[in-house]
Amino acid sequence: MICIDLDGTLLCDDHHTVSAENLAAIVQAAQAGVLVVPATGRIYGRIPEDVHRAAGIQYAIVANGAEVLTVPGGTRLHTAYLPLKDALPVVDWAQKQGYTPEVYQRDRMLIQMDDLKRLASTGIEDDHLRYLQQHEKPVDDLQAYLREKPDEICKVNLPYFASDEQRAALRAELERTGKFSVASSMDHNLEINSPAASKGNAIAVLCRQLGIDIAQVMAIGDGDNDREMLGAVGLPVAMGNAAQDIKALACHVTDTNERAGVAKAILAALKGEL
């Protein structure tokens, strides 16, 4: 099995295109009997169509491991949801501090309407802002909505921090509670999951269900939310565009996402070169 992160890894910098080289390598892996599994912080519905069309995709790990799903169809094989009693105080605090929280709930990206409007003045990059404006589900009162529909909360995402110091301080505070798994998939965000949710845990669960030795799994990633995934598998591969501390977790560093680094890693593995 090969587990592949999306943003900064399989996808180009536009966050939706998969290069022809990467698609061809996935097809070649499938023909060789290897399962290829997207492993992303995104919800299932925001996996790009190019990925869905790739031959051999039967499973997906989404929302940083909060769900393991079949593809197509989205049948849940494993979940690690965030309880409302833990999620709601985070949302309440974040709104009071002006951090415009999003809640990923099953296959929805929820945000309070006034927070969505406020995002435009935060300094968030234009491409990400347009993406959120297109795909968020705005609600009048996010906390009231969650109290009415409290189940299947995958994660709370704080999409933009102007200060890395503030982000790091909040991350440390949340982690000290023991109630959360905290990671970042972008330069300025913070993603808050159940402590049972990580890409690494999700891969281990899928391996057990399919009878695959996790030592025979390759994982390819570039970001902070890929740490557990790279640490869990037998063959961890970092992207050329990954930060140095992520590269240090890998036994191989491939090319960048804009230079088909995923394809190069897959083809090298299939040839027995890794």
**Mean pLDDT, residues 81-100 taken together:** 96
158 in Cβ contact with 190 (< 8 Å): yes
Domain 2-80+197-270 falls under CATH 2.40.170.20: no
pLDDT digits (tens, 9 = 90+) for 243-257: 999 999 999 999 999
- Per-residue confidence at 171, pLDDT binned at 50, 70, 90? very high
Q: Which CATH number fits domain 84-193: 3.40.309.10, 3.30.1240.10, 3.30.450.20, 3.30.360.10?
A: 3.30.1240.10
- pTM score, two decimals? 0.95
Residue 153: Cβ within 10 Å count: 25
Q: Are 174 and 192 in contact (CB under 8 A)?
A: yes
Distance from C-alpha of 145 to C-alpha of 220, rounded to nearest angstrom: 36
Q: Where in the chain is the domain with CATH 3.40.50.1000?
A: 2-80+197-270
Which one of 5, 7, 222, 226 is the catalytic residue? 5
Helix segments in 98-243, DSSP class H: 113-118, 126-135, 142-148, 164-177, 199-210, 227-232
107 is catalytic: no
Phi, psi values for residue 66, rounded to 5°: -70, -25
